[in-house]
Amino acid sequence: MTDRTIYVTHVGVRRRGWTDAMVRDLLGTPDVQGRDPRRWSLTPVRLYLLARVETVERTPEFAGSAALAPGRSAAALAHAERRRAAVLAAVRAEPVEVPRLPGPELERRAVRHRRLLTARSPGPDGESAPPPMSRESLTRWQVSYLRQTLSRYEALLDGLYGETGRGEAERLLRRRLYEAIAAAYPALARECRRRIAVEG
């Protein structure tokens, strides 16, 4: 394994005051890149020689880039805030259209959806008999099915990454979807309210 005492990670470089653009433009390709053997992650480990990082930090190019970094950060934050506000406005304004189904059809689809989720196999006679269920289970499955049919509305969140407003927008969207389901199917309103309370 690489001796980490002479290398610095990408996060470590960022802690030293570098921006991603500075790393890309001034350091370029990492000296070591690969997967961390200690834990599973989609993000590869990027290591830079500490001596090379310190050498670049003494250059006029680094000083010039570092001087511009606070302005870039403020601009990036302002852009992220504008994007967050636009997404929240879109989530609030978008009409939510819940499919209207007769009760027996909604129950059938909810049970089928549940079976697909739990990968249930057909019964011994080859027929797919409904699994034993309570009225509460069926209500939960119906709300889950309807919530899944509304997943296309999650495209409203495109462009919100990381912490900046993503959680707030997700909570608002979930609440709006459950409220729309409750309005379309009053018998499911209690379960929708429960989910709003639990999921935030």
CA-closest candidate to residue 23, choices 42, 6, 47, 3:
47
Given a contact cutoff of 8 angstroms between Cβ atoms, the answer to whether 192 and 140 are in contact is no
Given a contact cutoff of 8 angstroms between Cβ atoms, the answer to whether 72 and 154 are in contact is no
Residue 35 CA to residue 44 CA, distance in Å, equals 5
Chain Cα centroid distance, residue 117: 20
Weakest-pLDDT range from 43-52, 63-72, 83-92: 63-72
pLDDT of residue 119 exceeding 50 = yes
pLDDT average, residue stretch 146-157: 88
At 173, list the tokens. Answer: 């969207």
Give the list of residues 6+ apart from residue 86 with CB closer than 8 angstroms, or none. Answer: none
What pLDDT does residue 63 have?
A: 82
pLDDT digits (tens, 9 = 90+) for 26-66: 998 888 887 665 555 556 678 899 989 999 988 888 888 77
Residue 110 CA to residue 55 CA, distance in Å, equals 62
Strands 7-9 and 32-34 come out as: unpaired
Identity of residue 138: L
More confident residue, 34 or 88: 88
- pLDDT confidence band for 1 (50 / 70 / 90): very low
pLDDT average, residue stretch 88-98: 91
Q: What is the pTM of this model?
A: 0.56
